[in-house]
Each structure stands twice: as structure tokens, then as C-alpha cells.
């Protein structure tokens, strides 16, 4: 994962002297339900974006960041890797008007170094002083969450994730070094900070000016181009995982070989269905309001076609989730479940291919 490995924390940001921003700072904790979507990174990103002057809804975050289209696994059905090599996420945030800076160590391909915690704390302090919460990893749960405050005197971070729903604290000593389910693990650090850019992309139609409507078309085209790249398999980290349609192929191979992990099969299906549920209403609402607003009947028809296809896709993923319910799942090697899973995954693949064709048509129309 070369793009996340080095160089994202520039010399201008960290110079080895964290005292420049020492003290304390705490932002207001954003209130949202971590159960609304089991893509914890997307929810943390949504939470961090609420601190900007460009408020974005959860469906918009999932759509415009590409997280709503994400499917990623390997032939063991490993948990989703929503970051990959970082290229698609960086492009998506640029499309939304943000830059990102990432520090990754022993996760997403980065190396743990002697000053990893110091660098991470410096990034946290700097971001919170600018008014942005920071996306972190394994804060009070082995998922992504938010850091919204720090106190150098007490040496604690204010954190927010699915476990610390009402806010919690994490000591500096435990930052990047928390156990997994009570068992010690190698240290892992991931922090992502956002930087707001001057441009303001339009995520909906205003009808105030032709320039703003053109901005909406451009933002929509860029977002769907990113979705196409993911579905086509780009953005992989080179660790044996696959994105998009290739990930479904890997999932089918896992069932055929009897290597599909029982728990992560059920977890990934919960993850996909809880994320994909937002795509259909997004396509539908966009067709009804925005496409009508810019009086583009071709775009309106294409967006409705996309809504139909992704509704069909969603039904198939729900059927798979019912076959392997979270958290107990079912025996993935049982011949009955195995045969039905391969059949449903084949149907999911067909709808994903059909959806890809429609997305290509929309991008072509907007180009």
C-alpha cells in the first residue's frame, strides 16, 4: 500500500516538536447512530465531515466517497478493506472538496516506527485546533472511530465509536496499543485528518446559476467514475484482496473451495447490506429532484434504471444475509448453504455487471 506508507505526514506538519500545539482542546461530539451503517470508516468519515462548513448527509457521503459501492475480500472472505491503496479515497475526498493526510502503522501497509505515537498525537492536536475531528482505529472497539479532543496534562484523547457511543477516553499510553478482545496484539496506528479546500462542489441542484448546475454534473460524474474504478477492481492494496466484481468472484471461489470464513461471511454481508441500503433511495431521489431540476430527462431515466438495478442487487445481498445471519452465521461448508450461496453470489454478480453498464452510460452522458 505504497501511497499510505510514506510521505503523507509532511515535514511542515510534524517536525519532531509536538510542544508547538500542546495543551488541550475538545470539539463538540457529533451525535449519530453508529448502527446506521456497519461500514465504520464511512460513518467516521461522515462524522468528521460534519465539522466542516460543507455539511454532507450520510447517503451523500456513501455515494460521493464511493464507500456505498465498496465490496472487497479474498478467497477466505476476509473482512472488508475500505482503504485499499488509498488512491480512490483520496480522489473521492478531492471531489468533495477535501484533502486527506494519513498515518498508518502495522495496518494498511504502513510501518510502526519509534515516533509513530508522537506523530499521530501531533496530527490529532493540529486537526482539532483547526476544528476537525480525526478518524482513528481501535479506539474503544476494533473498528474505525473519531477522536474529537485531547488533553496533554491528563494524557487522554476524547473518543467516539460504536462502543464509546456517548463519548469516552483513551490514554496516550494505549493509543495505537489497545488489545483485541482482551488479547494483546502488535501495535496498530491509523489516523486520518481532513483539510478543507477552497472550492465548494455542488452535491445537489440549486437552479441559481448554470455554473452551479454544471458543478453538480461534474461532481456526479466524478463520483460515478470512481465507483466504476472500484467495481472494475482498481485501488487494491496488493495483499491478495480483490475489489468490486473480482471480489464476488473470490467469494464464489471461497465457497467452492470450502475456505469461506463463517463469522466474516456473516459480518461482511451485514456490512454490505447496511451500506447498500442507501444507494437505491439516493438514485431515486436524485432522479426525482435534481435531474428534474436541471431538466435532463435522459439523466433522470438513467438514474431510475440505476435505482432499479441496485434494488435488485440489494435484494440478493439481503437473501445472502438471511442465509448467514450475523453474528452466528451458518456453516459455510454445509452443502445446502454452500450451493445456495454460490447461486445467490452469481445473481449478485450479474446485477453488479448490469449496474456497472448503467454507471458507464451515466458517466458518458455527463461527459
Residue-wise pLDDT for 125-134, tens only, equals: 999 999 999 9
Distance separating alpha carbons of residues 160 and 46, to the nearest angstrom? 13
**Exposure class string for 172-193: b at 16+ Cβ within 10 A, else e:** beebbbbeeeeeeeebbbbbbb
The secondary structure of 32-45 as a DSSP string is --GGG-S-HHHHHH
Determine phi and psi for 203, rounding to 5 degrees.
Answer: -95, 0
Count how many residues are written for the chain. 367
* Sign of the torsion angle spanned by Cα atoms 167, 274, 144, 193: negative
Q: Please name the residue that has the C-alpha cell 494524557.
A: 155
Residue-wise pLDDT for 272-310, tens only, equals: 999 999 999 999 988 887 666 667 789 989 999 999 999
Neighbours of 9 (CB within 10 A): 18
Residue-wise pLDDT for 255-264, tens only, equals: 999 999 999 9
Residue-wise pLDDT for 158-174, tens only, equals: 999 999 999 999 999 99
- HEC letters along 271-336: HHHHHHCCHHHHHHHHHHHHHHHCCCHHHHHHHHHHHHHHHHHHHHHHHHHHHCCCCCCCCCCCHH
Q: Residues near 351 by Cβ (< 8 Å), separated by ≥ 6?
A: 309, 310, 312, 313, 316
Residue 53 CA, chain-centre distance (Å), reads 21
Rounded mean pLDDT, 50-63: 89
Helix 262-276 / helix 297-323 crossing angle, nearest 10 deg? 150
Residue-wise pLDDT for 332-359, tens only, equals: 999 999 999 999 999 999 999 999 999 9
Which of 103, 102, 101, 118 lies closest to 22 in space, CA to CA? 118
**Exposure class string for 329-352: b at 16+ Cβ within 10 A, else e:** bbebeeeebbebbeebbebbbebb
* Sign of the torsion angle spanned by Cα atoms 323, 37, 76, 230: positive
Strands 72-73 vs 242-243: parallel, antiparallel or unpaired: antiparallel
Mean pLDDT taken over the chain: 89
Please say whether the beta carbons of 100 and 90 come within 8 A.
yes
Between the CA of residue 201 and those of 60, 221, 296, 362, what are the distances in Å? 12, 12, 19, 19
Question: Which pLDDT score is estimated for 13?
Answer: 40
Residue 229 CA, chain-centre distance (Å), reads 15
Beta bridge partners of 243: 72
- Rg (the chain; Cα; Å): 21
Amino acid at each position: 500500500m505504497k501511497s499510505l506508507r510514506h510521505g503523507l505526514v509532511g515535514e511542515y506538519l510534524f517536525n519532531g516538536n509536538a510542544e508547538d500545539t500542546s495543551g488541550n482542546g475538545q470539539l463538540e461530539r457529533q451525535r449519530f447512530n453508529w448502527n446506521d451503517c456497519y461500514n465504520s470508516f464511512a460513518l467516521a468519515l461522515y462524522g468528521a465531515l460534519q465539522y466542516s462548513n460543507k455539511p454532507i448527509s450520510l447517503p451523500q457521503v456513501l455515494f460521493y466517497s464511493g464507500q456505498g459501492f465498496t465490496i472487497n475480500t479474498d478467497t477466505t472472505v476476509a473482512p472488508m478493506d475500505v482503504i485499499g491503496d488509498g488512491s480512490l479515497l483520496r480522489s473521492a475526498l478531492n471531489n468533495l472538496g477535501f484533502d486527506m493526510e494519513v498515518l498508518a502503522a502495522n495496518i494498511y501497509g504502513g510501518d510502526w516506527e519509534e515516533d509513530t505515537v508522537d506523530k499521530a498525537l501531533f496530527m490529532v492536536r493540529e486537526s482539532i485546533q483547526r476544528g476537525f475531528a480525526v478518524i482513528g482505529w481501535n479506539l474503544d472497539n476494533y473498528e474505525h472511530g473519531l477522536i474529537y479532543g485531547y488533553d496533554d496534562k491528563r494524557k487522554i484523547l476524547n473518543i467516539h465509536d460504536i462502543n464509546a457511543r456517548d463519548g469516552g477516553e483513551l490514554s496516550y499510553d494505549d493509543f495505537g496499543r489497545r488489545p483485541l478482545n482482551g488479547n494483546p496484539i502488535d501495535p496498530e496506528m491509523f489516523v486520518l485528518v481532513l483539510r478543507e479546500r477552497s472550492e465548494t462542489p455542488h452535491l445537489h441542484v440549486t437552479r441559481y446559476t448554470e455554473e452551479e448546475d454544471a458543478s453538480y454534473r461534474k461532481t456526479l460524474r466524478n463520483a460515478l467514475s470512481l465507483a466504476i474504478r472500484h467495481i472494475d477492481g482498481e485501488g487494491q492494496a496488493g495483499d491478495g484482496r480483490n475489489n468490486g466484481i473480482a471480489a464476488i468472484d473470490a467469494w464464489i471461489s471461497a465457497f467452492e473451495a470450502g475456505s469461506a470464513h463463517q463469522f466474516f461471511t456473516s459480518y461482511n454481508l451485514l456490512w454490505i447490506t447496511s451500506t447498500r441500503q442507501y444507494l437505491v433511495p439516493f438514485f431515486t431521489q436524485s432522479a426525482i429532484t435534481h435531474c428534474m431540476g436541471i431538466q435532463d430527462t435522459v439523466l433522470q431515466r438513467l438514474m431510475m434504471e440505476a435505482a432499479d438495478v441496485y434494488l435488485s442487487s440489494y435484494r440478493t445481498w439481503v437473501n445472502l444475509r438471511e442465509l448467514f445471519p450475523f453474528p452466528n452465521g451458518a456453516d459455510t461448508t454445509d452443502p445446502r448453504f454452500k450451493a445456495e450461496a454460490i447461486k445467490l453470489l452469481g445473481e449478485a454478480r450479474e446485477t453488479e455487471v448490469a449496474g456497472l453498464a448503467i454507471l458507464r452510460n451515466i458517466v458518458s452522458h455527463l461527459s
